[in-house]
Amino acid sequence: MKKIILISLFLLSFSISAQQRFIDNSFQLKSTETKTYATKNGEALKLNIYQPENDTMQQRPLIVFMHGGGFAGGTRTNPGEVEFAETAAKKGYVAVQISYRLTRKGQSFGCEFEASGKMETFKLAAEDFMDAVNFMVENHKEYRLDPSKVIVGGSSAGAEAVLNAVYNERLMFKDLSNYKDFDFAGIFSLAGAIVDARYITEENAIPGVFFHGTEDNLVPYATGPHHWCDRDQPGYIILDGSKTITERLEKLNASYMLYSFEGGKHEHSGMPFDHFPAVFKFFNEVFLNEEKLQIEITR
């Protein structure tokens, strides 16, 4: 079943060339650059930058993406993430894949790991994410970026870090004064969740694209315990997943596109390559051109 809800009609005020730029694969790729965006506890945190070749646009939108892996594994060079970044760069974006502190490497992030530790893990990863965005924006002239068009995303654990940084910033950060020079234009979340959707307000109701299985066995699709831990287990913590987040965005009249996969589990944290045409169409029309759309698709 496919269900689509539209708040407003698509407006065709932007040019044909602009549509093609961010929808079609119009460019070849420059050589990938690797930079260190921060050093923490002696660990150099790096990011890879993917850019279109022979691009003359002076203010280009930026995509920053965090890989998944339960805060214990994964890499910015995962094949799926690399293909997403290359695809975005071919369409005219500057796309960035980041590494971050894997604070649970060799350890559990499941029900035996206490809830307070999970919160601290979210905070540290959210901090790394913000530092990576800050690095790119500080160097916006070198990479010809538009600081008002920053799209951010993540898969699984990476999505949890990004979503919490954007929607639950008051829970994640004591001081946001270092992060004033950029605006989030949109979010791309693959099987992610946040601590509390009630912290989404009119001020931070950033539009988003969400993919999630309705029976996700690790990250709740709606509202539920992380990893479905029992109440008496140390790792019991309630999270709000994609369905609850988009319900909140709907109430705030913010744009979103939610792909729900009936019976799907955590495999929908993987890159949705088959749905890229719809994803990049939404990026262009909503994130870049500020159309108002609410779309729900059930598979």
pLDDT for 178:
79
pLDDT digits (tens, 9 = 90+) for 83-122: 999 999 999 999 999 999 999 999 999 999 999 999 999 9
- Domain 16-298 in this protein, CATH class: alpha beta
Per the DSSP assignment, residues forming a β-bridge with 45 are 38
pLDDT digits (tens, 9 = 90+) for 244-264: 999 999 999 999 999 999 999
Distance CA 285, CA 83 (A): 22
Whether the predicted model's global pTM rises above the 0.75 cut: yes
pLDDT for 4:
55
Distances (CA, A) of 120 to 40, 70, 126, 155, 194: 16, 14, 10, 19, 13
* Average pLDDT, integer, range 75-81: 97
pLDDT for 176:
84
* Average pLDDT, integer, range 3-20: 44
Instruction: Give residue limits of the domains in the chain.
Output: 16-298
pLDDT digits (tens, 9 = 90+) for 44-63: 999 999 999 999 999 999 99
* Average pLDDT, integer, range 27-34: 98
pLDDT digits (tens, 9 = 90+) for 269-290: 999 999 999 999 999 999 999 9
On the question of pLDDT at 1 being above 60, the answer is no
Q: What confidence tier does 182 reach under pLDDT thresholds 50, 70, 90? A: confident
Tell me the average pLDDT of the chain.
Answer: 93
Of 104, 103, 85, which is closest to residue 95 (Cα–Cα)? 85
